């Protein structure tokens, strides 16, 4: 699909049907994440596929935002393997993982899947509940599935600021 059409089509789905996602579509989503660029090509991300009852019920303990999705991804990064930028104030961890997640969420749309980016959870609690090592930071979860019949974009989906408000030419 033309990229701008794809970007326009994606929306945050907040109600899923019980139709399972196909394995080849999941693999395409994961491959899109694998192809994402990372600072210094460090590839400090890790993607967990949550599909078992146990993994999904832990997700439900963390957040009300699964919305019935039968699959969720958890994107983490290893904070001991990040690139620290000049000035020493910021590093690549969160943004590299966010680029990976963005690639995956857009490929989900390309595959005809619906999705939602989820950050409404306590990252320390997520680390604990999934038994992750101390150096692994949880960036986000992603609901993946097929929208329920009555689902659709929320009214604010089309409300984007005009470019004149968010872009300046220096």
Ligand X SMILES: Cc1cc2nc3c(=O)[nH]c(=O)nc-3n(C[C@H](O)[C@H](O)[C@H](O)COP(=O)(O)O)c2cc1C
Summarize as ranges the residues that interact with ligand X (CB under 6 A): 11-12, 14, 65, 116-120, 153-154, 156-157
CB of 12 to ligand X, least distance (A): 4
* Pick 14 or 103: Cβ nearer ligand X: 14
User: Can you tell me whether residue 134 is helix, strand or coil?
Assistant: coil
CB of 170 to ligand X, least distance (A): 26
CB burial of 59-84 (b: ≥16 within 10 Å; e: otherwise) equals beebbebbbebbbbbbbbbbeebbee
Which of 116, 99, 117 lies closest to 32, judged by CA? 99
Residue of minimal Cβ distance to ligand X: 120
The rounded distance, in Å, linking the Cα atoms of 65 and 15 is 9
* Pick 113 or 116: Cβ nearer ligand X: 116
CB of 104 to ligand X, least distance (A): 13
* Pick 22 or 124: Cβ nearer ligand X: 124
């Amino acid at each position: 699909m033309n990229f701008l059409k794809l970007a326009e089509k994606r929306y945050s789905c907040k109600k899923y049907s019980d139709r399972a996602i196909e394995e080849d579509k999941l693999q395409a989503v994961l491959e899109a994440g694998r192809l994402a660029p990372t600072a210094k090509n460090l590839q400090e991300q890790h993607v967990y596929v949550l599909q078992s009852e146990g993994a999904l019920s832990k997700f439900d303990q963390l957040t009300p935002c699964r919305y019935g999705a039968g699959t969720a991804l958890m994107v983490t990064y290893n904070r001991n393997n990040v690139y620290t930028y000049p000035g020493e104030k910021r590093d690549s961890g969160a943004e590299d993982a966010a680029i990976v997640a963005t690639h995956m969420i857009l490929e989900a749309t390309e595959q005809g899947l619906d999705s939602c980016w989820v950050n409404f959870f306590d990252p320390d609690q997520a680390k604990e509940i999934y038994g992750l090592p101390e150096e692994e930071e949880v960036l986000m979860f992603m609901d993946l599935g097929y929208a329920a019949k009555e689902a659709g974009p929320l009214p604010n989906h089309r409300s984007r600021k005009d470019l004149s408000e968010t872009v300046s030419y220096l």
